[in-house]
Amino acid sequence: RSKNISTFLKDYPITASIIIIQSLLFFITFIPYLPHDFIFQYFAGVNLYIARGELWRLITPIFVHRNFSHLLWNSCSIILLGPFLENILGKWKFTFVYIGCGLFANIASYLFLPRTYIHVGASGAIFGLLGMYFMILIFSKGSLPAIYQKTILTVVLLSIVITFLQPGTNVVAHLFGLIIGVLLGWWLFNKKGLKPY
């Protein structure tokens, strides 16, 4: 839906806040007199440091990105996927879903990838949103137009395929984010259902 920036900020405060936070963290790296890798050094998901007790690194990587294209791609995905879910879930449940999916994706990265592995990015949380959309497709019961249903299914399937084809992708985070999103979607929508769109 067409919205200007002020309306978007007002209607979707959590989606907007996510974009603002990760953008600020990225552009802080360009502040003079700060080390270029300051944010990456202290907030990236470094499995070795997590093992040593730096547990904040299970959350902070959700908002840290490698480069501008990485930030731009994930921000566009959040802008596309976030508003509808924030609208139907409410801001607190949406926050819980987004952070929860990203957290479990990072926990899986810690458990199943080498101690030398370093990971950043919102992809685990974003795949959690895709999982939620998949469950909307399952439980929508006609609340979404057919074209929306086909679009959701196509995006989910393409995202999974791209996960395995794109070099350097954290496959573990993507898949576990998706799984947690599906489970949360089942929990939230199974009994409640969805209001007609």
> CA 120, CA 128: separation in Å to the nearest integer?
16
Catalytic (active site) residue 174: yes
User: Which residue is catalytic, options 77, 119, 140, 174?
Assistant: 174
Residue 174 has which token pair?
């993507």
Which residues lie across from 119 on neighbouring strands?
45
User: Active site residue: 75, 109, 123, 140, which one?
Assistant: 123
Catalytic residues: 123, 174
